[in-house]
Amino acid sequence: MSENSNTRVFIGIGTNIGDRSNYIDRALDELRLEDQIWIEAVSSIYETVPVGLQDQPNFLNGVIRIKTAVRPLNLLEILKRIEVQVGRQYRKRWGPREIDLDILIYGDLVLDHPLLRIPHPEMLNRQFVLQPLVEIQPDLIHPSCNQTISQIVCHMATEIETVSRKKKNSDS
């Protein structure tokens, strides 16, 4: 497919057990092997406290910007396959995980499907998603609220509770 038929997609990446940095690197490597997925940018990786279930290790979180011609549900299947290849074992919701890959925004698409909601329904409540998004695409417009991610972050009362931050190499 031509470059013009590709959609810009933002994927959240997170991990909080095992060799966390290795899981992120392996997930990025697997994404790079996909024929119709091109990584454009990777945010810094932020070490953050857990949300939801508090009694678990800190997370490493970031955002990946890709271009792809893969349709949303097929992309979800690819991401779930990569999670398994990297070593994810599915446990309880909001619990510990080796790797987690979530579609945050898929172009300007708004989708409410039993298997997938786009934009990600919790992203506006999660600084560990918004801050990396601002870093790699501050002018990104959230498809549901028609504001840029920078505007949304400016209206939030709190900043990301970051333990540490490490810059990842991006693919340009």
Could you give the 3-state DSSP secondary structure of residue 32? helix
Nearest Cα residue to 14 out of 111, 79, 107: 79
Contacts of 164 (CB under 8 A, 6+ apart): 46, 47
Catalytic residues: 88, 97, 100, 102
Extract the tokens encoding 20: 């966390």
CA distances (Å), origin 64, targets 13, 60, 69, 91, 156 = 7, 13, 16, 24, 22
Q: Tokens at residue 48, please?
A: 């953050």
Q: Give Cα separations from 53 to 57, 95, 156, 158 (angstroms).
A: 10, 6, 22, 20
Residue type, position 91, single letter: R
In terms of residues, how long is the chain?
Answer: 172
